[in-house]
Structure 1
Amino acid sequence: MKLHCEVEVVSRHLPALGLKGRGKGTRAVLTLCPPLHRSPPLSRVGAERGDPHSAYLCVATLKDKRGTRYKLKENIEQFFTKFVDEGKATVRLQEPSVDICLSKANSSSLKGFLSALRLAHKGCAVDALLSTQTSVKTSEFEKFKTKMVITSKKDYPLGKNFPYTLEHLQASYCGLVQFDTRILYLKNLRKLDLSHNHIKKLPDRIGDLIYLQELNLSDNHLDSFSVALCESTLRKSLKSLDLSKNKIKALPLQFCQLRELTDLKLDDNKLIRLPFKIGQLKNLRFLSAARNNLPFLPSEFKNLSLDYLDLFGNTFEHPDVLPVIKLQVPLTLLESSARTMLSNRIPYDPHVIPFHLCHDLDAAKTCDCGRLCLNSFIQGITTMNLHSIAHTVVLLDNVDGTQAPVSSYFCSLTCYVNSSDMLK
């Protein structure tokens, strides 16, 4: 029985000596093996002459293919398996006093291997699982492939799975018409590039790729980016997203939950609006949404702080348009209650108030004075200099210089009149 993963062996004596481990694993092959029938070398820590039917854990690396052996029978102090579904676990031994930290393992293989270790610890017969090899072959370590680049349809693997150890996968110009669900099992994936294909829809389970930092879906046939993806674990991991050259008309309100985004490319789509809470993307530094159908920018766009901004080729409206007045005097009970909840940051969820009210509160408009409003407001088009939020700005083609129209909201007539950007 074998397990391919990364291993770090940490001595529990290190903290007492004021030291700590490297914190980085080494590619290794773990096997269950029988005890040595002769006195082992001193370098084989934990190996000793013993019960011929007992099993030992052998940790072999590329530098030490014969491996280090550890006794298992009545020698495992504890298993740490909280993150076993992520391919991580730790086996704590009594003698020697070490923690064997496993990571980047196939989760199903890891669970099976841990079950075998438990049996060996209890002294159960595991002869059928023992490996008779005295050393691990170099070819075993070649299975630890972390990067795969495919740039033609003929090279795309159909008859075999992707190596589960992949951290970077590029499959471009492969003619894919749908997302390959085998990719969802690559739990260590950091970078995924499926550009220049014909993919029309993304599965919600992409959020299962908990380490995914870069996602390139440019030049496909996507017409949406689902709410489920915005609410998945991508919120904590995704830093770079390329959706350029697709057919997307709008991004959902929940898109702004992807708070770790630093780079966002939306060029050459059919966007008629940007998420109006886009100002919540505090980490965003690169934004490109050229050649779309944006008539104006959302009011919270002014809250961004960018290094680079490109909005070239959009159909921006002229700011001299009449405002939309939806003021309610006096305020309705719903409006007054909503403003109170939002201004006092009172938490809410569908278990407390109806779902549709949660959605309305999530979509509340921000007045230039900072207050929030629900259905009572004045909406108009103001202008802003894009250099006020971005260091480098690509000039707009159909408005003057770097001045862009912004859809602004005012919670009252007083705010509308007193606004420094008062409408003409």
Structure 2
Amino acid sequence: MKLQCDVEVVNRMLPTCGMKNRGKGARAVLSIGKHIDKTSPRTSIYLMICTAKDRAGSKYKLKDNIEKFFSWFVDEGKATVRLKEPAVDICLSKADANSLKNFLSAARLADRGSDTSSLPLSTLTPVRARDVEKPKKKLTIVSKKDYPLTSNFPYSLEHLQVSYCKLSRVDMRMLSLKALRKLDLSNNHIKKLPATIGDLSCLAELILHNNHLDSFSEALCLSTLQKTLQHLDLSQNRLQGLPTQFCQLRELVRLKLDDNKLVWLPFHIGRLSKLRFLSAAHNQLALLPSDFRRLSLENLDLFGNPFTQPNPLDHTIRLTFPIPLLEMASRAVVNLRIPYGPHLIPAHLCQDLEVAKTCDCGQVCVNFFIKTAVSMNLHQVSHTVVLVDNMGGTDAPVLHHFCSLSCYSEFLDNCLQKGMR
């Protein structure tokens, strides 16, 4: 039984001599195995600790020698084994939680003097230098010949870049790296993202620049990435749209969507209240969603999109008189913030309510409305704006929805008054 982790051996007698412990752990390999005791002809079970400074290892007898286990934080990879002789505490940290649990279980059996045949024992031999190196935090692979085929990625990685390796899919070994904070898979051939990327509970940056993605799944939008993802780069892919649920990624600060085939931005993009940097240049955007007006950005780049020249008089009417009862009920649910869900109403009604539009009067409309586009200066939502076109413009058309003819008429009257001024 072997365990790799950080170890600090604390002598409990030092404080009585007016001395302090070093207070710093070192990377080590712990082994539980047989050793011939010089004081007795019998073979005993020992715990051996090998570090970079002491690769030959220090040995501690286990049978009837463990005073106590401190394992309150074992799920965090931390534990302490208190020995009777010598009077030391062996403090373990930064260990794999499952491996640590198995190791403590073996140590407990050895302390009780269990039959050695039932113990997963190791040979107590000096370790190699690479076995006691500090955990690797960062790994960069930018060539296919350097890509590991037979060995796993170091479990301690926080930053992994794998580029120019012609990957057609995300390697499932990457998805077991629970400490990963940044995953850069740019410049590959990835066509689809597995939903299990959402299980990377620490992931703050996901770089997928220059791949073959044609979709971004709803499952990812509803995963733990909602609480962790701050930087997402989907530029130079084949995306035509993003799901409505995309705006559940509310921790996003930077979003890059350049050089795709996007014909629309997420309907509720205004819900990304922490978004500060948005780039969606060179797409197929003709209009911006009405929720776009709620953004508060530092930098915005929408250059190279075929924005249409808006005319408030050009409109689409989807109204009937009287308003259907279903529409009136749907509006009431949203306006009054009545809880709903697929356990209460049909799923298709939930989907309709998720894309409810807000009228200029503050009320909502769902499936019955009047729609038009209005030009908006992008400086209203961003401090810095990259020019929209080669003509030096910073205006773009934004959709407006109206819940009734009276609201639309009032809007037109206001436009006319502004034009007369």
Fold shared per TM-score above 0.5: yes
In structure 1, the residue corresponding to 2:202 is in which secondary structure?
coil
Q: 1:421 & 1:239 partners in 2: Cα distance? A: 42
In structure 2, the residue corresponding to 1:330 is in which secondary structure?
coil
Query: What are the residue-to-residue correspondences of 1:16-415 with 2, within 5 Å?
Result: 27-32=27-32, 53=44, 56=47, 62=52, 66=57, 75-77=67-69, 79-80=71-72, 83=75, 88-91=76-79, 100=91, 102-103=93-94, 105=96, 109-120=99-110, 123-125=113-115, 128-133=120-125, 137-142=128-133, 144-320=135-311, 322-397=314-389, 401-415=393-407
Greater displacement, 111-120 / 268-277: 111-120
Q: Give the AA of the match of 2:342.
A: P
Cα 1:90–1:159 change in 2 (3 A) is: closer
Contact kept in structure 1, 2:62 and 2:107, CA below 8 Å = no
Count of paired positions: 398
CA RMSD of superposed structures (Å):
3.6
Cα 1:316–1:154 change in 2 (3 A) is: same
In terms of Rg, which structure is larger? 2
Q: 1:99 & 1:323 partners in 2: Cα distance? A: 74
In structure 2, the residue corresponding to 1:129 is in which secondary structure?
coil
In structure 1, the residue corresponding to 2:385 is in which secondary structure?
strand
Q: 2:112 & 2:329 partners in 1: Cα distance? A: 63
Greater displacement, 326-335 / 164-173: 326-335
Contact kept in structure 2, 1:416 and 1:422, CA below 8 Å = no
Q: 2:26 & 2:412 partners in 1: Cα distance? A: 60
In structure 2, the residue corresponding to 1:379 is in which secondary structure?
strand
Cα 1:37–1:295 change in 2 (3 A) is: same
Cα 1:420–1:125 change in 2 (3 A) is: farther
Q: 1:186 & 1:385 partners in 2: Cα distance? A: 44
Once the two structures are TM-superposed, the CA of residue 142 in structure 1 deviates from its matched residue by 3.0
Q: Does 1:416 align with 2:408?
A: yes
Contact kept in structure 1, 2:3 and 2:99, CA below 8 Å = yes
In structure 2, the residue corresponding to 1:215 is in which secondary structure?
strand
Q: 2:155 & 2:281 partners in 1: Cα distance? A: 37
Once the two structures are TM-superposed, the CA of residue 78 in structure 1 deviates from its matched residue by 5.6
Question: What does the per-residue CA deviation read over 1:238-265, in whole Å, with 9 as the maximum and x for residues that have no partner?
Answer: 1111110001000000111111111110
In structure 1, the residue corresponding to 2:226 is in which secondary structure?
helix
Identity %: 52
Structure 2: gaps of 5 or more residues: 12-22, 417-421
Q: 1:311 & 1:9 partners in 2: Cα distance? A: 58
Q: Give the AA of the match of 2:103.
A: F
Cα 1:407–1:93 change in 2 (3 A) is: same
Correspondence for 1:44: none
Question: What does the per-residue CA deviation read over 1:64-120, in whole Å, with 9 as the maximum and x for residues that have no partner?
Answer: 76569696866445644784xxxx344365678979564462x55345334434534
Q: 1:377 & 1:114 partners in 2: Cα distance? A: 66
TM-score normalised by the chain length of structure 1: 0.81
Contact kept in structure 1, 2:226 and 2:250, CA below 8 Å = yes
Cα 1:349–1:399 change in 2 (3 A) is: farther
Cα 1:53–1:361 change in 2 (3 A) is: farther
Question: What does the per-residue CA deviation read over 1:194-238, in whole Å, with 9 as the maximum and x for residues that have no partner?
Answer: 111111111111112111111111111110111111111111111
Q: 2:164 & 2:91 partners in 1: Cα distance? A: 42
Once the two structures are TM-superposed, the CA of residue 4 in structure 1 deviates from its matched residue by 2.3
Q: 2:10 & 2:284 partners in 1: Cα distance? A: 57
Cα 1:93–1:330 change in 2 (3 A) is: farther
Question: What does the per-residue CA deviation read over 1:265-285, in whole Å, with 9 as the maximum and x for residues that have no partner?
Answer: 000000000001011111111
Q: 1:227 & 1:158 partners in 2: Cα distance? A: 31
Q: 1:371 & 1:72 partners in 2: Cα distance? A: 74
Q: 1:26 & 1:343 partners in 2: Cα distance? A: 59
Cα 1:119–1:170 change in 2 (3 A) is: same
Cα 1:369–1:29 change in 2 (3 A) is: farther
TM-score normalised by the chain length of structure 2: 0.82
Question: What does the per-residue CA deviation read over 1:130-164, in whole Å, with 9 as the maximum and x for residues that have no partner?
Answer: 5524x655321337222111111222122222222
Q: 1:352 & 1:26 partners in 2: Cα distance? A: 56
Q: 2:332 & 2:61 partners in 1: Cα distance? A: 63
Q: 1:59 & 1:397 partners in 2: Cα distance? A: 66
Q: Give the AA of the match of 1:348.
A: Y
Cα 1:304–1:53 change in 2 (3 A) is: same
Once the two structures are TM-superposed, the CA of residue 318 in structure 1 deviates from its matched residue by 0.9
Cα 1:343–1:137 change in 2 (3 A) is: same
Cα 1:98–1:254 change in 2 (3 A) is: farther
Q: 1:277 & 1:36 partners in 2: Cα distance? A: 70
Contact kept in structure 2, 1:217 and 1:243, CA below 8 Å = yes
Once the two structures are TM-superposed, the CA of residue 53 in structure 1 deviates from its matched residue by 4.1
